[in-house]
């Protein structure tokens, strides 16, 4: 399934989806959601929504830092997970970075998140691990 990936300013949809998808990890790790921090970071991000049949089903947020694009968020609504949308979003991020002349994608992911398998399949490698989080990178050729 191929989503339409388009710029978005729908912060409410993004925050609701992220909070829902990350709630179990935050609870398990004793972390708490900070809406003020999300508001601040949202303004700094290039944000895209993944759309199927005119319905938003995911969000991808990118931030360019130095020589890399950082995938700050990649969230897919639960009914749409495991249908190739995350892979499509990662390919979109790669093309977006390449178009900007950037040759690295980076992300941070909880060590307990099964999405690590997807990231490794796409070519991301763990750079380091701090506490509960892996920093991962993929070179773009």
Confidence of residue 1 (pLDDT cuts 50, 70, 90): confident
pLDDT of residue 24: 86
pTM of the model: 0.93
Q: In what order do the strands lie in the sheet with 68-76?
A: 4-7, 46-52, 55-65, 68-76, 104-110, 133-139, 125-130
Q: Tell me the three state secondary structure of residue 22.
A: helix
The pair of three-digit structure tokens given for residue 84, joined into one six-digit string: 């190739």
Identify the residue whose tokens are 């949202």: 42
Mean per-residue pLDDT of the chain: 94
Confidence of residue 27 (pLDDT cuts 50, 70, 90): confident
pLDDT of residue 6: 98
CA–CA dist 10, 103 (Å, integer)? 28
């Amino acid at each position: 399934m191929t989503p339409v990936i388009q710029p978005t300013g729908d912060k409410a949809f993004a925050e609701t989806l992220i909070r829902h998808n990350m709630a179990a990890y935050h609870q398990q790790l004793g972390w708490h959601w900070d809406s003020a921090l999300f508001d601040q970071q949202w303004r700094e991000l290039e944000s895209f929504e993944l759309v199927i049949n005119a319905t938003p089903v995911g969000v991808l947020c990118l931030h360019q830092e130095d020589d890399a694009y950082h995938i700050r968020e990649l969230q897919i609504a639960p009914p749409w997970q495991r249908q190739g949308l995350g892979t499509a979003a990662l390919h979109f991020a790669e093309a977006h970075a390449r178009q900007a002349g950037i040759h690295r994608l980076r992300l941070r992911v909880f060590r307990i998140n099964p999405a690590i398998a997807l990231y490794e399949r796409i070519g991301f490698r763990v750079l380091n691990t701090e506490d509960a989080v892996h920093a991962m990178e993929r070179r773009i050729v």
